[in-house]
Amino acid sequence: MFAMAELTGAPEYEVVIEPKRGWLRLELRELWEYRDLVVLLLRRDLLARYQQTLLGPLWHLLQPVLTMAVFVIIFARVAGISTDGVPAPLFYLSGLLAWNYFAQNITTASGTFLNNQGLFSKVWFPRLVVPVAAIGSSLIAFALQLIPFIAFATYYVLAHGFVVFTWRLALLPVAALHVAAVSLGVGLWMAAFTARYRDLLHLNQFLVQLWMFATPVIYPISKLPARWSWIAWLNPVAAPVEAFRWCLLGAGTLQPAFVGTSLLITLLLLITGLVAFQSASRSAVDIV
């Protein structure tokens, strides 16, 4: 055998390929090894989003401003919903910053298997790369949407003496990371379900719209009736939305138990979402 190996030049070892086992594999090492692919997919998402558009990234500046204007007219002027002494434009813009980032993440991540089936069927790489890249590309939109908020905040500082931009602003990345973690967990669950049932992709959009009304985007938690306060406690997005207002405006209702409950639910969503996503990734290409 050794003589034959020496004559043929064949190596004296063999490679055995086995499927990875285990119900939970974080694939953190694989994600780091495929970091170049994450960057490429991030660039692809950005180009696909802005290609053949008239205004390109400027849409991310106009969208929160137009939505804020509608909220001010309907909820602040007509319905008379309190904003806890915060100027209505700043109140709504701060909530929309967190919510738009969350909604964009789960909308993109939920179509992971459907939108990338051609790529998945041709080459192997950690499937978790795609939703992670989607969350990274949404950060560009998040950064752009900070511009109109800064413009309105500067106006209220100079014209009305409203105090913003305190030391709490340094904690905004922590709140943004919380939103990213929640949206990744929910997005992985949605991706797993839509891989098998395509019509759920339309249901996901409907659920996102309903979810916004269960989140303190258009109203402060302090004005929520006591009998409905449990909705805010069970809603993992409520705490980071309030944290955005706390960081940007010095307002918002934040309690340690409230934040802790949101973090626990977020961790649960991430773990179970990873399990569901990895289970779906084994057969998603065959299904879609």
**Kind and range of the H or E run holding 7:** helix 2-8
CA distance 91 to 74: 14
Question: Tens digit of pLDDT for each residue in 208-236?
Answer: 888 998 899 999 888 888 777 777 888 99
CA distance 212 to 170: 26
Question: Tens digit of pLDDT for each residue in 1-46?
Answer: 444 445 555 556 665 545 455 555 666 677 777 778 778 877 777 6
Residue with tokens 């993109």: 108
Percent of the chain with pLDDT over 70: 84
Domain range list for the chain: 2-287
Residue with tokens 């249901």: 203
Cβ contacts of residue 78 below 8 Å, gap of 6+? none
DSSP 130-192: HHHHHHHHHHHHHHHHHHHHHHHHHHHHHHH------GGGGGHHHHHHHHHHHHHHHHHHHHH
Q: Is the pLDDT of residue 118 over 80?
A: no
Question: Tens digit of pLDDT for each residue in 61-97?
Answer: 888 899 999 999 999 999 888 888 889 999 999 999 9
Local structure of residue 56 (DSSP, 8 states) = G
pTM of the model: 0.83
Q: What is the pLDDT of residue 227?
A: 79
Supply the mean pLDDT for the chain: 82
Question: Tens digit of pLDDT for each residue in 154-177?
Answer: 999 888 878 777 788 889 999 999
Q: Do 45 and 108 form a contact (C-beta atoms < 8 A)?
A: yes
